[in-house]
């Protein structure tokens, strides 16, 4: 139980430190998704949905960009999403490492 609480505490402390970068990346992903959606003629909600699905690299395939610009934006969104996910994973690993160190000492 102590490890779990320590991990959660460390993780949220790190999230607070990385919040500006994570917020920027999330805004970037959503803004590019809206831009691609306008180019494709999608509804606003569909554009946001598509950008999040593409950014998490799930890619359900229910909305498919057809223009060259939208496809380029999809690549940029995917790369940005990979960076976003990588940052979250590295923060979680750092928090776990810190929690393990704290439980050993």
CA distance 15 to 65: 33
**Looking at the predicted structure, is the pLDDT value of residue 11 above 90?**
yes
Top pLDDT among 99 and 32 is at 32
For residue 3, the model assigns a pLDDT of 86
Show me where the domains of the chain are located: 2-104
**Looking at the predicted structure, is the pLDDT value of residue 1 above 70?**
no
Tens of pLDDT, residue by residue over 33-91, are: 999 999 999 999 999 999 999 999 898 989 999 999 999 999 999 999 999 999 999 99
CATH topology of domain 2-104: Helix Hairpins (1.10.287)
What is the pTM (predicted TM-score) of this model? Answer: 0.89
């Amino acid at each position: 139980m102590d490890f779990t609480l320590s991990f959660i505490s460390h993780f949220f402390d790190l999230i607070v430190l990385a919040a500006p970068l994570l917020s920027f990346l999330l805004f970037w992903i959503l803004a590019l998704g809206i831009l691609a959606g306008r180019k494709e003629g999608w509804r606003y909600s569909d554009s946001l949905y598509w950008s999040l699905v593409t950014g998490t690299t799930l890619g359900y395939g229910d909305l498919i960009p057809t223009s060259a610009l939208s496809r380029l934006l999809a690549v940029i969104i995917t790369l940005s999403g990979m960076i976003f996910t990588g940052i979250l994973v590295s923060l979680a690993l750092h928090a776990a490492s810190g929690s393990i160190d704290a439980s050993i000492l």
